[in-house]
Structure formats: structure tokens, C-alpha cells
Structure 1
Amino acid sequence: MALRSIRAIDYMTKNPVTVKPSTSLFEAIDIMLAAKVSGATVLNDNKEVVGVISEIDCLQAILKGTYHGEIGGTVKEFMTEEVDSVGTDMDILAVAELLIKQKRRRMPVVENGKFIGQYSIRSILNAVKEFNLK
């Protein structure tokens, strides 16, 4: 079995960290710190991906707020709205190539317009590790 034949969906993170656009900036930071992740997918009430929020986004928001004398706000104000997502039919190497090419740590997986999980660098590394143990 070649690594290319490994289905990425088998290594997708099914319950990754997510937040809503209305989540406060500091609550999002607390959620990411508690989960030990560097970012979260932002979902609307219909489980559709509307953005991502990263540690960098949060740090920029804090610095901007410090300069203007007001720190805080919601995820919607600071999230990145342009989000690439992928479907469920990719092999593991295609996902790895996409993450590297687009310089992403994670990518949402969408099926029928709804968020179902995410691929991450960590999930790809776990797949490779498991493959090499076989």
C-alpha cells in the first residue's frame, strides 16, 4: 500500500476546536489555549465555515486595541474570512501538498456545504507515523 492511497478522511480531526463569530476575542483565546491549538474554525449557526481565527489574529487584535486604548471585541471583527476548504475525497499526500502550498496549519473539511472536521499538519503526521508502523 502506497502512502498516496491512504484516504485523508480516515485521518480527519472530527471534533476540532470551533468558535462562532459572536464569541468574544478573549473567550476564543481561552478556548485555543485550553485546547493547545494555534487557531480555530469559525462556524455560523448552520455549521457553515465563515472564517478562521488564529493566535496571530488574536495578537494583532490585542496590539491594535492597545494602541487605540480599547482591547476586546468579537471573533467576527478579527477573523480571516477568506478560507479555503476541501472535500472528503482527497488522498493524504494531496492534503499535505495543499497545506504546504498554501502555508496552512489546518484546513476545514466540508461536505454538502457543512463543516464536518479538519485536516491538519498533525493529522497528516499521525497518518504517516501509523503507515510506517504497519
Structure 2
Amino acid sequence: MHSILVEDYMDTNPHAISDKATVREAVSLFMRERIPGAPVINDEKTLIGFISEQDCIKEMLNDVFYCEESPAVTAVMSRNVRTVSPNASILEIAEAMSKAPPKNYPVVNEGKLVGLLSRKHILTALVETNEDCYIHH
């Protein structure tokens, strides 16, 4: 069986957002890149949180109703983020993901964001692994 490690399937160029960005800037990123959320990093590329479309909806409503200035992403992001290592097994992560969210796992090496693993990446790995089963039997 070929390798089924996170590093072999992760997005190595994830659309991260700066901890200095506003919620409005995060929403612009989501729309432009067609993504449902993004890791939040500081200037050293250390992961400090994750912001999703869901996190932004309430703040964007406030912008519309009260003409408030968009707050920083750090005000609404999730700080308790489940991360994975590049050398983690995709099978173990698929098992965990099948039982509960999140939809995306930031991939971190020594505290630094090095990639993003989504459900799409996990499904790709599982399909390829499944194809190997048919080839070898």
C-alpha cells in the first residue's frame, strides 16, 4: 500500500489569513477563493486560530444593520483549533472526522502552519487506497 500520510495529500499552500485582518477581509478571501474558512496566523506563520464563514455571519449582520466597522478576525475566530502533524496517518484522521467536526485540519509542524487537510483531501486518499485494494486482489 502506498503512503497515506497527511503530508502526501494536504494542501501545501493554504489560504491563511493574517491575525491583523478584519472579518470583512476574511469574507472577501472566502468568496474570492471559494473556501469555507481559513487558518489565522501571525507574522511568524504560527497558527493562532481558525475563522469560518459561520464565524463571520453575525459580524457581517452587525456591519449591515448598524454600519459598524468590521472587527479583527481575532475577535470572532476559534482559538481551540484541532491540528494535525504532516506525518500523521490519514486513516486515523478520517476515523476522527467521520465522528465529529471539524471539516478542515490545519497542518502544523513545530507550531508553524505548513498545510491544510480537508475532507476532500481525505476522500482522495481513501479512494486511492481503496483502488490499491482492488489492484492487489
The two structures share one fold, judged by TM-score above 0.5: yes
Percent identity reads 34
Q: Does 1:20 align with 2:18?
A: yes
Q: Does 1:110 align with 2:108?
A: yes
Q: Is the 8 A contact 1:99 1:106 kept in 2?
A: no
Residue aligning to 1:124: 122
Question: How is 1:43-82 mapped onto 2 (pairs within 5 angstroms)?
Answer: 43-66=41-64, 69-82=67-80
Q: Is the 8 A contact 1:62 1:71 kept in 2?
A: no
TM-score, length basis structure 1: 0.86
Q: Post-superposition shift, 1:110? A: 1.0
Q: Secondary structure at 2:115's aligned position in 1?
A: strand
5+ residue gaps, structure 2: 133-137
Q: Which of 91, 94, 105 is the matching residue for 2:89?
A: 91
Equivalent AA in structure 1 for residue 13 of structure 2 = N
Of the two, which has the highest radius of gyration? 2
Question: Counterparts of 2:22 and 2:4 in 1: how far apart (Å)?
Answer: 39
CA displacement 1:85-121 (0-9 Å, x = unmatched): 1112221111112323341110111111211101110
5+ residue gaps, structure 1: none
